[in-house]
């Protein structure tokens, strides 16, 4: 569904479970920090609101979104981690670089989840411009970080 028709911070309560004993790792891209910091804030607020303990939430930064899959893999292989949330932002530029990065990141994150049989969540914005990113990182369309966190919670309750 197009984001313009949905607020990323709204969701159903289906598959919501007690997460007080779950451990979450968040991998956050440093590139487009203004956006990824907002995504991180949204994810943390949602995890805490649903009962995650602050001491069971870990953050690791990677240089850019392209590095998210490897960072996720390093964390997903740890037995104590129940879910990994990847947060990044790749803004469309004038070259095809955007297409290659987005494809690699999406496929990489998917493969990590399948390899380690645990939720590895794609919380990466792929907007056409900075304003669209801001709108989806706490702006008029909600926060993709909220959506990524609630997706992790729901997948743990699957």
Provide the pLDDT confidence category of residue 4 given band limits of 50, 70 and 90.
low
Domain coordinates of the chain in residue numbers? 19-156
Q: What is the mean pLDDT of residues 90-95?
A: 87
Distance from C-alpha of 21 to C-alpha of 15, rounded to nearest angstrom: 16
On average, the pLDDT of the chain sits at 93
Q: 86: annotated binding-site residue?
A: no
Give this prediction's pTM: 0.93
Judge whether 97 counts as a catalytic residue.
Answer: yes
Catalytic residue (choose from 6, 49, 77, 97): 97
Distances (CA, A) of 103 to 51, 85, 91: 33, 18, 13
| Confidence category of residue 5, pLDDT binned at 50, 70, 90 | low
Per-residue confidence (pLDDT) for residue 9, from 0 to 100: 65
CATH class, range 19-156: alpha beta
């Amino acid at each position: 569904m197009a984001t313009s028709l949905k607020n990323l911070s709204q969701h159903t309560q289906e598959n919501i479970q007690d997460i007080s004993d779950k451990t979450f790792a968040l991998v956050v891209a440093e590139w487009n920090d203004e956006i990824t910091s907002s995504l991180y804030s949204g994810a943390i607020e949602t995890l805490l609101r649903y009962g995650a303990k602050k001491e069971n939430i870990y953050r690791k930064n990677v240089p850019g979104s392209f590095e998210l899959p490897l960072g996720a893999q390093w964390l997903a292989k740890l037995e104590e981690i129940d879910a990994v949330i990847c947060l990044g932002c790749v803004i469309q530029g004038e070259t095809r670089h955007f297409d290659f990065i987005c494809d690699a990141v999406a496929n990489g994150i998917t493969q990590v989840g399948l390899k380690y049989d645990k939720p590895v969540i794609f919380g990466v914005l792929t907007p056409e411009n900075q304003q669209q990113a801001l709108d989806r990182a706490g702006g008029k369309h909600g926060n993709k970080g909220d959506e990524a966190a609630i997706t992790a919670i729901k997948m743990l309750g699957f």
